[in-house]
Amino acid sequence: MKLRIKKGDTVKVISGKDKGKVGKVLKVLPKEKKVIVEGVNIIKKYFRPTQDNPEGGKKEVEAPIYYWKVQLVCSHCKSPTRVGMLFLETGEKVRVCKKCGEIIDKV
């Protein structure tokens, strides 16, 4: 399945415990239908002691969330929007903001 959200996009969380937060997409997991967003869905991960880290400990990391819980923030109208696809006359496929109609980028 192809998602319409890419790594590096700015997205806004529209549902869940982190509703309203805005962050950058760090990683897209298309097979799981999830994305990892910077500063969203923070969990504590515990590490056991190893030779590199003899004390072990815990660390806060971002966990994946489902892609339908986020919306792309348009760079032109600065609001969360759905994403449309459009074919130009040159044969290029581009992502389009559904609110303002501006081209976001090439696919």
Contact 97, 86 (CB under 8 A): no
pTM: 0.85
Task: Give residue 1's pLDDT band: very low, low, confident or very high (50, 70, 90).
Answer: low
β-pair type (80-81, 83-87): unpaired
What pLDDT, in 10s, does the model give residues 19-45? 999 999 999 999 999 999 999 999 999
**Are 5 and 50 within one domain?**
yes
Question: Does residue 67 sit in helix, strand or coil?
Answer: helix
Domain that holds residue 93: 76-107
- 44 in the same domain as 5: yes
Domain of residue 30, CATH code: 2.30.30.30
